[in-house]
C-alpha cells in the first residue's frame, strides 16, 4: 500500500513538472478601485518576442499626472527565486511613475491599452477591453543572470502614496508565464 502511495506521488510530481503554469490573476483586495481579468495567450513566451494577452481593466477612478500614481513591478524566476533587475527602465523589477511611464516607454506600455484609448494621462475611469494586448520581452532579457529559460511571476501594482504610511494599492495583477530563448 505504501508503495502505491509513493508511486502515485512520484507520477504526480513528474507530471506537474511538464505542465505549463500560465495565468493572469487580479490580486487587488476586495473593493480595489482597479481590477484586471483576462488570460495569457502565448505559452511559452519566446525571448525576444511578445506575450499576447486578452486583458480587461476596470478602473473606478481616473488617473491624472498630478495624482503621483506609481507602478511597482516585481518579476521573479520561480526556480531559484531570482528577482529580475530593472531592465531598460521598465521591464523586470521596477517602480515608475504611471503617467511618466506612458510617455517615456510607450513601446512597452501602450500595447496593453485598447486601440481606441489614448496612451496618456489623464486616464478616465471606465472598463477597457484589450483583446490584442501584449508585453514585449526584448533581447536584453537573454543576458539576465542564470539565463532566461524558466517559469516567472510578475506582480504589478498601481500604488498611491508609495512608501508613505498611507500607501494604498489601488490595483494589482499577477502574471505567471514561461520564457524561452528564441
Q: What is the pLDDT of residues 24-42, one digit of tens each?
A: 999 998 899 999 999 999 9
What pLDDT, on a 0 to 100 scale, did the predictor assign at position 4? 30
Strand stretches in the chain, DSSP E? 23-26, 34-40, 45-47, 49-59, 70-77, 82-83, 94-97, 126-137, 150-160, 168-181
Whether residue 169 contacts residue 28, with contact meaning beta carbons closer than 8 Å, is answered with yes
Extract the C-alpha cell encoding 35: 481590477
State how far the Cα of 115 lies from the Cα of 110, in Å rounded to an integer: 9
Residue 61 C-alpha cell reads as: 477612478
Output the pTM of the full model: 0.86
Q: How much is the mean pLDDT over the chain?
A: 87
Of 86, 87, 121, whose CA–CA distance to 101 is shortest? 121
Residues of the chain with pLDDT under 50: 1-19
- The pLDDT score that the predictor gives to residue 9 is 28
- Give the span between the Cα atoms of 159 and 172, in whole angstroms: 9
> Where does residue 107 fall: left (phi above 0), alpha (psi -120 to 50 degrees), or beta otherwise?
alpha
Q: CA-based angle 156:98:90, to the nearest 5?
A: 60
Task: Determine contact, residues 91/27, Cβ cutoff 8 Å.
Answer: no
Cell numbers 520564457 correspond to 179
Q: SS3 of 111, please? A: helix
pLDDT at 21: 65
> Cα 66 to the chain's mean position, in Å?
25
Amino acid at each position: 500500500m505504501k508503495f502505491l502511495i509513493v508511486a502515485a506521488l512520484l507520477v504526480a510530481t513528474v507530471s506537474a513538472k511538464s505542465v505549463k503554469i500560465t495565468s493572469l490573476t487580479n490580486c487587488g483586495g476586495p473593493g480595489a478601485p482597479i481590477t484586471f481579468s483576462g488570460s495569457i495567450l502565448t505559452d511559452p513566451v519566446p525571448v525576444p518576442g511578445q506575450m499576447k494577452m486578452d486583458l480587461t481593466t476596470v478602473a473606478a477612478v481616473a488617473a491624472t499626472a498630478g495624482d503621483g500614481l506609481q507602478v511597482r513591478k516585481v518579476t521573479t524566476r520561480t526556480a531559484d527565486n531570482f528577482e529580475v533587475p530593472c531592465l531598460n527602465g521598465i521591464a523586470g523589477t521596477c517602480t515608475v511613475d504611471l503617467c511618466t511611464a506612458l510617455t517615456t516607454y510607450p513601446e512597452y506600455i501602450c500595447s496593453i491599452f485598447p486601440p481606441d484609448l489614448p496612451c496618456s494621462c489623464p486616464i478616465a475611469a471606465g472598463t477597457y477591453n484589450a483583446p490584442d494586448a501584449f508585453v514585449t520581452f526584448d533581447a536584453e532579457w537573454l543576458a539576465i543572470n542564470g539565463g532566461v529559460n524558466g517559469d516567472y511571476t510578475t506582480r504589478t501594482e498601481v500604488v498611491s502614496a508609495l512608501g508613505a504610511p498611507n500607501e494604498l494599492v489601488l490595483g494589482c495583477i499577477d502574471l505567471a508565464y514561461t520564457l524561452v530563448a528564441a
